[in-house]
A = this chain, B = another copy of it.
Amino acid sequence: MNKQIITKNKILNIAEALFAEHGFNETSLREITAEAKVNLASVNYHFGSKKSLIEAVFERYMEVFTNSLMNEMAMLEKDVQNIKTLEVLQTLIHPLMAVNHIRPDGSSVFMKLLGRAYSETQGHLRRFVMQKYSHVFLRFTRLLHKANPELSSESMFWRLHFMMGSFIFTLAGHEALQEISQSDFDRKVDIETILTRLIAFLAAGFEYSREQSDTLKHSTHQ
């Protein structure tokens, strides 16, 4: 009963690191089991299939992340009137840092996994995540809409996806970006600094983008 947990966790720990580094399809069960020093068949025994292992790896992070995010959003909703776009986006920062409790570089792993999830395998994982945590996503978009009540739901839809693109892309590649920043500007940046810059960028795009159809609505920002 104890051995089971040990083996299962050994697999999870190694798997998430390898998945984050090389991708899901590019990581074989043999690589995982070899590095975890467990038998090849134990993945299928404990998880059923590789696909289920991937979902299990992802779920461990999503659980922590979404719980924390729900908390943050609840706090923001306490004074409903006058919610700012920037504040809504800032609810993401703490949850993204909270996954460091899972492992020291948890944020980094989680972000890379997120990036992989959105690009690979024609989006099986994306759909799995989207429907399992749709209530979190919905609550977030509603908050964003409250911060920008004048926006049509069509504008909301598009800007939301533009945001997600930047977010996923930046987070998934944050390691490379950190290295470039280090060598080009001799400035080491931590994840939170990147997030702050990113969120400032997205808030501006979300609030101030002037589409031909609703230019007027935005002409009054100070």
**Bound form: Cα–Cα A112–B163 in Å:** 19
What does DSSP make chain A's interface, helix, strand, loop or mixed? helix
Stretch at the interface among A36-44, A70-78, A118-126, A137-145: A118-126
**Bound form: Cα–Cα A26–B25 in Å:** 9
Contact of A161 among B121, B158, B177 (CB under 8 A): B177
Contact of A153 among B158, B161, B177, B185 (CB under 8 A): B185
A196 with B211: CB separation less than 8 A: yes
Q: Interface size of A by Cβ–Cβ distance < 8 Å?
A: 52
Could you give, for residues 122-140 of chain A, a 1 whenever the CB lies within 8 Å of some chain B CB and a 0 otherwise?
1000000000000000000
Contact of A204 among B115, B118, B173, B205 (CB under 8 A): B205
Min CB distance A119 to B, Å, is 3
Chain B residue at minimum C-beta to C-beta distance from A180: B157
Query: Of A180, A200, A211, which is in contact with the most chain B CB atoms at under 10 Å from its CB?
Result: A200
A194 in contact (CB, < 8 A): yes
